[in-house]
A and B are shown apart, each in its own frame.
Chain A
Amino acid sequence: MILKYVWKNFSRRKIRTVLMVLSLLVSTALIVAMSATVESVKQSNIDLVASAVGRFDISVRKTDTSPDPFINVAETTAVIQSADARVTAVYPRFQSQVELEIGADVSQGWLVGLDPARDDIGYIDVVTGTYTLGDGQVALLEDTANTYDIGLGDTLYVAYSFPQPREAGKAGATGASARRVRIPFTVAAIVRQEGVIGNGIREGLIADIGDVQRWLELPGRAETLLTIVDPSLYESQNAEIGALNVRGVAQAIQAKLGDEYTYSLDKAVALDDLAQAFLLVQALINMYGLMALGVVGLLVHTLVMTNVQEQRRDMAILRILGGQRNFLFTLVIAEVAVIGLVGIGLGIIGGNLVTQYIVLPLINQQMLSQGLNPDFHLQVTAATILPAVLSAAFVLFVSTLKPAQDAAKTKVVYAINPSVADNIQLEDLAHLRERGPNLKIFGLGWLLMLGFGLIAGGQVMSTFGSPALEAAFIFSALMLMVLGVGMIFFIFTIPLEKLSLFLMGLLMPRLTYFARRNVGRGQLRNTLISMLVLFSGVLPTFLATQSALSYANLETDVRLRLGAPLDVESQGQYASGEEAKDFWLRPDFLTEQLATVPGVAQMVGVSHPFASRAADSVDMRSAPVTVMGVTGDLNDVLYQDTMEFVAGGPAALAAILAEPDAVIISEGLAEHLAVPLGGIVRLQGEGLDHTVEARVVGIARRMPGFGGIGRARTTAQYGSDVLLSLDSFRSLTTDLQMPLPPARDPILTRVLATLTPDADAEAVQSEIGQRYGRQYGLWSRMAEVQLESARRGQAQERIFLLALTGISFTTAVFGVFAVIYVTIYARRLEIGMMKAFGMRTWELSGMLVIEAIAMTLGAALAGIVAGTTMAYIFTVGEKALQQQPYKLAVDTTVMPFIVIMVVLASMVGAAFSARRIVKRKAIEILRM
């Protein structure tokens, strides 16, 4: 009986049924597709990660304190293989950075010695020649061959420095002479490698390990043993578990080999990091999914409520015939359950099909174009399907509950005398006397607890320490914020509706005359549509505006962060204690070594940071400071446009070099100490009773590359940067009881430099990394490279945002469509009357379309204003805290997309919904 009744209802209200099924289908499909894509990409990343870090699982080496840095291959391999049954292969390797002598040129590169007969780690792509190793024949990596114009049959020399064991507990002797061997090789092939040693390595050569052992006189020895584990260890659905499985194998090997060895699990580490990153993406998708389903819930609620109201008489008759309230309740629930089963079921199938045939091929294509070899396959797992199914089922149940309860409360009078049915009946009187639980107060209590819940909840989440829980919590808080901001900005909906109507009125005054009154005065339905659209618009606009702001400020941010086109830093910049000194650079590193890198132009060295205290001349006020000495005029290298002086001007940067104990301090510190330009600042030096009276020659508000120089006095009270000459710095940082160290002694930890106009930024960065990266613990950052990388990232971010906007708005569009459909149907008498007194069909359609556009556009614009304002507040606040300048920007991708989607949906929704009514004759409409 129930199913028959449900089926009859579907037949009577085909469009409504189709709308509900479609909205569920689309929202479920989108969530499933996004989850399936993420899951598929996550799984496939094992392969991508492997190609990036090398297609091996565990790399075993001797520690740098081991007296013998080389491994006995046969013995150690046997131990590793016996340590854990999951070890499937062990390959010996020599893998180190060496000097390559090619004619008169000397460069850095990698020497890879491997066993060509057994070692099948990674892929070799032969560009030219024959990949035959042994007997002095080597394969040269393509980039090295191109850089030095080396061809097949050419000879090159490899200078190999034997590693020097370090004494335990002491830093290595930097610059100590090491035994070197010079080995000749003949180029037999020019190749590209993928996953043999890691994709980032493009300079060097691959040789037979037998040749390397012979030349180094190390038979049966290797630098490292690369271990392969059973691939099924990675097959867990959770990349983190896969990574932990591999760690278990490494621990088993460690237990057998002892402390003389170190272990690298680059692949597992990368996977672990990736798993954490995917947690955030998944949480974001879930949040979008919930918002989309929330909109579907509103839609279902509206349509089912309309159905119930229209069926009121039928239900009253069923009650007269003996149907109980539970029966009516079940009727409504059953109707929605059938819709849910069909919609969600089709959504799951649709989502997987979309992923399989559209999304993954697109991602594969894009990655192929970037030179990667992706092999994404659809992952259909409980993780991809269950969240969508459970959330959809929950949302459906919640949205149907009230209509079902209303149906259950149907009075029999509706069948007997509908006009008095809404008055209080005898059966209502009993309810009026009963005191029941007050759900409103209950709900209000929870609402008031929300603020506390968010604060306490955050602490509880971090106590549990689960990143997934924390991500879910953060995004839930974000969602609540979006809802809150949406509600606050709901007030703008009506003015924006009026503005839209005013503008449309200029074009179509007569139609707008009618639309204006209907839009302005249709309380409930207009609020519902506005809410649907507004909430869908806030988050995409917020994220898109943040992205736009970040893009607009990208160049300034990078310039401020780096300070100069090239920023080279050593580990000494961040290390502390005596160990830090191992990474300090000599001042002549600039002139003798860095200057030889092609593309590097002017340079200024910056000393290690010295923690001191600055005070006024009588020590009334003081503050901690970080003092840094510079080797030259920073005007030559820093980005001038981001520099700002309050006093002294850029000339102060030259003045600190010319005058002993002359300093540049921040505006914040100057204000805090109340010291003017030319005033004296007492700096605490190294050792007892060591105070330097420094003269302030410059007061800076902002200095690119030096984050400790700012305008805020409150910040400066807790720390700021002070700049002076290297000589003054040396004197300040030397105990008065000690002689001044020689000028050649290591003291620098940072170099700021410019590039020659024709320099290739990436090549310069790569060259510095190869030459000095390992030797001095250096890394470099190039403004140009960072900008380029950020720009590429931004393009991908926009695509991601558009996809997410598509998700949230697709369901909103269904919502708009459904509400317009229902309201037009409910207003049919009005429409019939307007037609009767002479309104033409196109005028009626036009009026309804204008109404729909005005309502949705007003709400979309309010959502855009809300999202944009929120993004501005966030960004401007953050910049103000960081005391950075900023540019305001407007997103030009997502916002127009939202407006276009909303306008099109309204036009199509209204035209389609109106069509079947307005095309009829007036009298037919009035009789409906």
Chain B
Amino acid sequence: MTEPIIVVEDVHKSYLMGKEAVPALRGVSLAIMPGEFICLMGPSGSGKTTLLNIVGGLDEPSRGHVIIDGQNLVSMSENKLARLRLTKMGFIFQNYNLLANFTALENVEAPMVLAKNGRRQRKQRAAELLQRVDLGDRTHHYPSELSGGQQQRVAIARALANDPSILIADEMTGDLDSQTGFAIMELVASLNREGMTIVFVTHDPRMAEFAGRVVELRDGKILAETGG
């Protein structure tokens, strides 16, 4: 039987707002199998982005465990976490977060530089990835010269650079028009079909329909799960 690639066990998370601790997650447990396409939904303040960040190793839980591919993130040092993110995960954000001074090709290349890939190999792969997201003719364009949809596609290509097994996406279509948003979701879905595990957050129920399983959060707890 296949082991879950992501295991979230009784995760709690509180933020300090002034002198008060405000709970964002209250004992969330979740297991995600390899190749799953999971959507986290919920109203503002439900804890979906917090959960996504914890799953992605960008944030740490106040209590509980997060195990990625057999490794417990809670006990990991900052450097090991960085390594894990570099090799096993790809990130896509609502506002793309591309490096402004880097061309599309260089943006995609950046994670491979950190992974110490050879120059020739990374250039070739970056070009292939951009080709794959239909930006083969925009490789030397800077982010400011690309539309929102194009920028998000560069972000997706960059997320795929080190061939991660998990793709983490936070409101990746939030800043895009519907048509472009659907196109992006189609692209992500195709990645999932190739076996990549995808965890994403959205407000938009139309985008959630792409997911195989939808986890609904409210007040820091899982309210319901559908699909799967």
Contact = CB atoms under 8 A, between A and B. Distances in A.
Interface of A: 510, 513-514, 517-518, 520-522, 829-830, 832-841, 843, 921-923, 926
Nearest to B109: A513
Contacts of A521: 101
A588 to B, nearest CB: 85
A520 B95 CA distance: 24
B110 A830 contact: no
Given A838-B82, A923-B53, A833 B99 contact: yes
Contact of B82 (A830, A833, A840): A840
Contacts of A838: 82-83, 85-87, 111, 114-115, 162
Instruction: Name the prevailing secondary structure of the A interface residues.
Output: helix
B102 interface: yes
A491 B139 CA distance: 29
Nearest to A837: B111
A883 B50 CA distance: 79
Contacts of A923: 53, 58-59
Contact of B113 (A514, A830, A833): A514
Given A521-B101, A830-B100, A840-B82, A510 B116 contact: yes
Contact of B99 (A830, A840, A922, A926): A830
B106 A922 contact: no
Contacts of B82: 835, 838-841
Contact of A840 (B78, B87, B111, B116): B78
B72 interface: no
Given A839-B82, A921-B58, A926-B93, 11 more contacts: A510-B113, A510-B114, A510-B116, A836-B56, A837-B90, A837-B111, A838-B82, A838-B115, A839-B114, A843-B114, A923-B53
Contacts of A522: 101
Nearest to B111: A837
Contacts of B106: 517
B158 interface: yes
17 contacts: A510-B113, A514-B110, A517-B99, A520-B101, A521-B101, A832-B97, A833-B93, A833-B97, A836-B56, A837-B85, A837-B86, A837-B91, A837-B110, A841-B79, A843-B114, A921-B60, A923-B58
B176 to A, nearest CB: 15
Q: Which residue, B91, B115, B116, has most C-beta atoms of chain A within 10 A?
A: B91
A412 B93 CA distance: 30
A841 B78 contact: yes
Contacts of A926: 93, 97
Contacts of A841: 78-79, 82
A926 B83 CA distance: 19
Nearest to A843: B114
B11 to A, nearest CB: 15
A506 to B, nearest CB: 15
Interface residues of B, number: 32
Interface string B68-112: 000000000011001101110011010101111110001000110
Which 5 residue pairs are nearest across A and B when measured between Cβ atoms?
A838-B86, A833-B97, A521-B101, A923-B58, A838-B85
B91 A921 contact: no
B102 A837 contact: no
A832 to B, nearest CB: 7
Nearest to A519: B101
Given A517-B102, A923-B59, A834 B110 contact: yes
Interface of B: 53, 56, 58-60, 78-79, 82-83, 85-87, 90-91, 93, 95, 97-102, 106, 110-111, 113-116, 158-159, 162
Nearest to B116: A510
A836 B91 contact: yes
Contacts of B102: 517
Nearest to B161: A837
A510 B117 CA distance: 10
Nearest to A510: B113
A518 B142 CA distance: 13
A773 B87 CA distance: 90
A843 B116 CA distance: 13
A829 B162 CA distance: 21
A922 B113 contact: no
Nearest to A522: B101
A924 to B, nearest CB: 8
A220 B83 CA distance: 103
Contacts of A834: 99, 110
Contacts of A830: 97, 99-100
B114 A837 contact: yes
Given A922-B58, A926-B93, A837 B101 contact: no
Given A836-B85, A837-B158, A923-B58, A829 B78 contact: no
A633 B198 CA distance: 100
Contacts of B78: 840-841
A896 to B, nearest CB: 32
A840 B93 CA distance: 20
Q: Which residue, A514, A518, A838, A843, has most C-beta atoms of chain B within 10 A?
A: A838
Contacts of B56: 836
B112 to A, nearest CB: 10
Nearest to A523: B101
Contact of A829 (B53, B83, B87, B97): B97
Contacts of A510: 113-114, 116
Contacts of A835: 82
A522 B102 CA distance: 10
Nearest to B162: A838
B59 A921 contact: yes
Contacts of A921: 58-60
Nearest to B50: A923
A517 B56 CA distance: 28
B220 to A, nearest CB: 17
A411 B95 CA distance: 25
B106 to A, nearest CB: 6
B114 A517 contact: no
A721 B184 CA distance: 91
A554 to B, nearest CB: 50
Q: Which residue, A513, A832, A836, A921, has most C-beta atoms of chain B within 10 A?
A: A836
B101 A517 contact: yes
Q: Which residue, B56, B95, B101, has most C-beta atoms of chain A within 10 A?
A: B101
Q: Which residue, A514, A837, A921, A922, has most C-beta atoms of chain B within 10 A?
A: A837
Contacts of A520: 101
A923 B60 CA distance: 10
A211 B76 CA distance: 101
B77 to A, nearest CB: 10
Nearest to B59: A923
Contacts of A518: 101
B91 A513 contact: no
B169 to A, nearest CB: 12
Contacts of B115: 838
Contact of A513 (B59, B95, B97, B113): B113
A521 B106 CA distance: 13
Contacts of B59: 921, 923
Nearest to A831: B99
A834 B58 CA distance: 12
Contacts of B85: 836-838
A832 B56 CA distance: 14
Nearest to B100: A830
A522 B142 CA distance: 13
A517 B100 CA distance: 10
A428 to B, nearest CB: 23
A834 B82 CA distance: 10
A837 B91 CA distance: 7
Contacts of A837: 85-86, 90-91, 110-111, 114, 158-159
A522 B79 CA distance: 28
Contacts of B79: 840-841
A829 B86 CA distance: 18
Contacts of A922: 58
A840 B115 CA distance: 11
Nearest to A835: B82
A648 to B, nearest CB: 68
